[in-house]
Structure 1
Amino acid sequence: MASNGNMLQPQLPRFSGKNFNQWSIQMKVLYGSQELWDIFERGYTEVENQSELTNQQLVELRENRKKDKKALFFIYQAVDEFIFERISTATSAKAAWDILRSTYQGEDKVKMIRLQALRSEFDCIKMKETETIEEFFNRILVIVNSLRSNGEEVGDQRVVEKILRSMPRKFEHIVFAIEESKDLSTLSINSLMGSLLSHELRLKQFEVNPEEVFQMQTSFRGGSRGRRGGHGRRGGGRNYDNRSGANSENSQESSSLSR
């Protein structure tokens, strides 16, 4: 929606109770652009006896109050009605945010259970034989992003090493080459993906269609049987002719003796 002048008010991503992690990332970027994220994370301290404050401190206090009310209004606008009821009693933006985070991201115990499941999934993941590099990277990065959004520190080196350990045998040579020639502590996930995609493309260029191999093998076997059979029959014919000739000569000798 447009505001006065040429400034545009950013469109607020709406939270309906699902995918809190994704929504919170979007909100963090949006509130950061408005210089409001500190108010959500740390809040501000209200001072009862303002007479003891300096002029500078008073200015900062009033500025923080305005930021807090603006941030709280943004949250009200960014949630569905039934979620608004949960935070309507919050007196500050930080209090409203804490309610949403504890409700939809989970308390510490629930968060720990979720992290354990994600760690196990990360440790067990393997690339399937029928999977492409891009599909496998997408699958593993979904887990990595979920781990990070739940507070787990997952560095690129850990992800790179896991990917290299999870490749099928057809990538064995390129994996060995990368491990020997690259410094895994500085190799980025995107660079690794680029190397593996290039190797995958070369594999596809030299890939033989399994149906064509089967047809070639079948044709070769059939031709071999035909040639062997033909030689047998021709050989058998020669033996029969020889035997017939010998029998004919014996018959002629017997006839001469009887005469």
Structure 2
Amino acid sequence: MKAILGSQDVWDIIDKGFTKPVNEETLPSNEKEVLLKTIKKDQQALLTLIHHCLDDGMFEKVADATTSKEAWEILQNSLQGFDKVKKINLQTLRDDFEVLKMKESESISDFCSRLMAVVNQLRRYGEEVDDVCVVEKILRFLTPKFDYLVCAIEDSKDLDSMTVEHLEGSLLAHKEKMKKRKEEPLKQLLKT
């Protein structure tokens, strides 16, 4: 393969494809040359497509294709099923995000980790999930024992510019302060 096709050349060839004449031998010599060049370009496009774009599973699907256009059509048809699966997965993840609540026995870190796992999966599927939406979700679905903290954060901080990490840090810091305050009277009692 002397010349590597440019990406636009590859897509032009794949998109247009070509039709082999029924009887190549009856073609005039200039048309035979054009046909041979077209076949060569098509084979280069097919190799480029296979080499750059396909994993082993997809390669198996197009291994028997004889033209780049045929390979491309096989890939398009097989990926239509993937789009349906993607839509179903997105719906499931949206539902998971909506119903996710902090459990009574769960730590702030564990709740935030569970929530971010769902958010990251949504983002991988192309869903746009703002940090503001995640921050608001966390504040809405903390257990009732954090209500005083939620009010304090909502009153004192700008939620539109707050990151999830900043919120989690604030929640953990407040929780540690409250834990320490509860331990001090216990220490005083033990000293007496």
Instruction: Tell me which interval the TM-score lies in, with the shorter structure as reference length.
Output: 0.5 to 0.7
- Which residue number in structure 2 is paired with residue 86 of structure 1? 61
SS in 2 for 1:107: helix
Pick from 120, 123, 144: which aligns with 1:148?
123
1:172, distance to aligned residue in structure 2 (A): 1.5
Pick from 92, 97, 100: which aligns with 1:122?
97
Question: Aligned partners of 1:98, 1:195: CA distance in 2, in Å?
Answer: 48
Give yes or no for the alignment of 1:107 onto 2:74. Answer: no
Question: Aligned partners of 2:120, 2:146: CA distance in 1, in Å?
Answer: 25
Question: Aligned partners of 1:84, 1:171: CA distance in 2, in Å?
Answer: 53
Question: Aligned partners of 1:73, 1:44: CA distance in 2, in Å?
Answer: 14
| Change beyond 3 A, Cα 1:205–1:74 | farther
Report the identity percentage.
36
Can you list the C-alpha shifts for 1:107-155, whole angstroms capped at 9, x where unaligned?
Answer: 24x4333222222211111111221222111111111122222232211
Name the Cα RMSD after superposition: 3.6
1:101, distance to aligned residue in structure 2 (A): 5.2
TM-score (norm 1): 0.45
User: Which one-letter code corresponds to 2:89 in the other structure?
Assistant: R
- Which residue number in structure 2 is paired with residue 196 of structure 1? 171
- Which residue number in structure 2 is paired with residue 176 of structure 1? 151
1:1-259 equivalent positions in 2, closer than 5 A = 44-46=11-13, 69=48, 72-76=50-54, 79-80=55-56, 82-88=57-63, 89=65, 91=68, 95=72, 102=80, 106-108=82-84, 110-206=85-181
- Given that 1:87 and 1:99 are in contact with CA atoms closer than 8 Å, whether structure 2 keeps it comes out as no
- Which residue number in structure 2 is paired with residue 233 of structure 1? none
| Change beyond 3 A, Cα 1:100–1:146 | farther
User: Which one-letter code corresponds to 2:95 in the other structure?
Assistant: S
| Change beyond 3 A, Cα 1:139–1:167 | same
TM-score (norm 2): 0.58
Can you list the C-alpha shifts for 1:137-196, whole angstroms capped at 9, x where unaligned?
Answer: 111111112222223221111111111001112221221111112221211111111111
Q: Tell me, which stretches of 5 or more residues in structure 2 are unaligned?
A: 1-6, 17-43, 187-192
1:98, distance to aligned residue in structure 2 (A): 5.7
Instruction: Flag the structure with more relative contact order, 1 or 2, with Cα contacts below 8 A and sequence separation at least 6.
Output: 2
